[in-house]
Structure 1
Amino acid sequence: MRKGGEAVERVSEWTRKHSQSSLLRYSSNMETFSQHPLLLLLFLSWTAQCFGSNICTSRGVTTCQQCLAVHPSCAWCSQEEFGKGGSSVHRCDLKENLLTEGCNGGSLEFPSSTFSILKDTPLSDKASGAADDVTQIKPQKVHIKLRPGIFSQYILK
């Protein structure tokens, strides 16, 4: 019975010793990353690429509308045959990836948000002008085009 107890004790001691050394190695690695933020950034970038964390391709979308609503960085290739044939190419992907994989630039759907002022008359003074010719808001006419999923704020005076 004594030998069994000694064996368990040795295994316990070995486990404690190796757990602590693993913990020290982990702590040491984290200190390295905290002292070198660029190294941490490179490591995170590498792991993101290795584990395929591309939000555009991970959702399994099948239409342009769905693709553009996934994330502002997603683009859609409107070429009918693009991505077919069993390859791992997706029609919804990052703009750069679609171009690299052979999507024609003219077939790329990647809308951007725009804001343009069409009429911007100066505000009226309190005592000037006729009652029907008073401007109380500026600008008076705008054209706003927002990409799906994008929120924007504009200041009116």
Structure 2
Amino acid sequence: MQQQTRPFPATRVADSPAFASFTLLLALALIFILISACGQPPRNPTSVLACGTVTSTEAVSKNASETWQAMRAGTCFLHAYQQCQAATLIYVDQDRLLRQDQQRTVVRTLTVEAASCQVSETLQEASSSTTSLCERVEGLRGALRLVSCGVDGTFYLILDAAIQ
């Protein structure tokens, strides 16, 4: 008895060439998604990146490691701002402190709010503290420029005076 061949294409979907192509494309898409996710830091909306503490005297220091740390902290904060990632940077303003009263500590705490992508500045002097929003942050050679921040308006946080 001879076996008859069917004149019709395969009856099961899994046997069809179109299904094989679809499966291959799906597998490639999943591999691409997994590869693109590698190397990306996990996004945790509640985590805040602490970029560090910088003193304005580090910016004019002759010590390369101090200026490198100041630049690294500033770069960290600028990158977080550009990515709308929650972050903080503490800047101890020695220049302002030396111009006024040496017993006072002037500390600026800059914070990127991830949800709104806005930067707030909390200025702490002696027993008072004021918080204001900044319009934006810009990176310049050796400094961060904070635009339209509260009573100080636009000002610069010097990170490395040697490259200014």
User: Larger Rg: 1 or 2?
Assistant: 1
TM-score, normalised relative to structure 1:
0.25
Q: Tell me which protein shows more helix as a share of its residues.
A: 1
Q: Tell me which protein shows more strand as a share of its residues.
A: 2
